[in-house]
Amino acid sequence: MQKLFSVALFAASGLAQEQAPEERKFSHIVKMVHDQISRAGSSWDSKSVSKKLQNYACHCFPDNMRMAGGAGPAQDGIDSLCKKLARCHKCISDDYGISATTAEWDADVGKYRWSADLNGDITCAANNDQYKKDLCECDAAFATAMGAQWNDADWDVTMWANRKNAAFTLDTASTCVGSPGGDAECCGSYPNRQPFQTISHECCADNSVATIGSC
């Protein structure tokens, strides 16, 4: 039986339980990110995080999706972290045999657990199931890295594809385009596990990815 994934909020309320699966997952990531960037001095509230991360650049929750994804090169540091998160989630999907684009991703009645200490360090150690721990590690690494580099001024309004944003200028149709790929496998350990194309690359002994023959 395939394991089912959940990223609903830790100690979620009954209202959160009634949200659609993808909404639960996205709100969980938002809570982690808000915790981390607030510690870095951000003036954004959680609503701003939710609104301004979605549809940002090429990889930050595009097309009103509530999961990282997209294609093409990362456009800035924020987008780079979203791309890495999407790749981490791709390996969760591959390793545990379930698609992140379906409701099954969030359908488990159990929820992964996370907490942050007074220094802001996030831990996923309370999870007994490995798949929950790994998924938590993906999201925690994303939030932690976001907090480490965050500056409100770095968020670029010209790359925010909100329908009400008249300042949006990024040509996503020509910019956010990926190259055709072959079969992919995953390399490394979470939260740094990443997919690679087996036709051109290999997983090295040190868990890095390199072109074939260059490990």
Could you report the per-residue pLDDT of 7-25, keeping only the tens digit for each? 333 333 222 333 343 444 6
Burial class (CB in 10 A: 0-12, 13-18, 19+), 93: middle
Domain ranges within the chain, ordered by starting residue: 17-174, 179-215
Helical ranges in the chain per DSSP H: 14-17, 21-39, 46-53, 77-96, 130-149, 172-175
What CATH number matches the domain at 17-174, 3.40.50.460, 3.40.50.1970, 3.40.630.10, 1.20.90.10? Answer: 1.20.90.10
Could you report the per-residue pLDDT of 111-145, keeping only the tens digit for each? 688 899 999 999 999 988 898 899 899 999 999 99
Could you report the per-residue pLDDT of 45-102, keeping only the tens digit for each? 999 999 999 999 999 999 888 778 899 999 999 999 999 999 998 998 899 886 655 5
The answer to whether 28 and 122 are in contact (CB under 8 A) is no
The DSSP code for 75 is -
Tokens 């079969």, residue?
183
Q: HEC string of 30-62?
A: HHHHHHHHHHCCCCCCHHHHHHHHCCECCCECC
| pTM for the structure as a whole | 0.83
Could you report the per-residue pLDDT of 137-191, keeping only the tens digit for each? 999 999 999 999 999 999 999 999 999 999 999 999 999 998 776 668 999 999 9
The answer to whether 7 and 133 are in contact (CB under 8 A) is no
The span from the CA of 129 to the CA of 126, in Å, is 9
Sign of CA dihedral 37, 92, 188, 57: negative
pLDDT of residue 65: 81
The answer to whether 168 and 186 are in contact (CB under 8 A) is no
Q: HEC string of 180-204?
A: CCCCEEEECCCCCCEEEECCCEEEC
pLDDT of residue 208 exceeding 90, the answer is yes
pLDDT of residue 122: 95
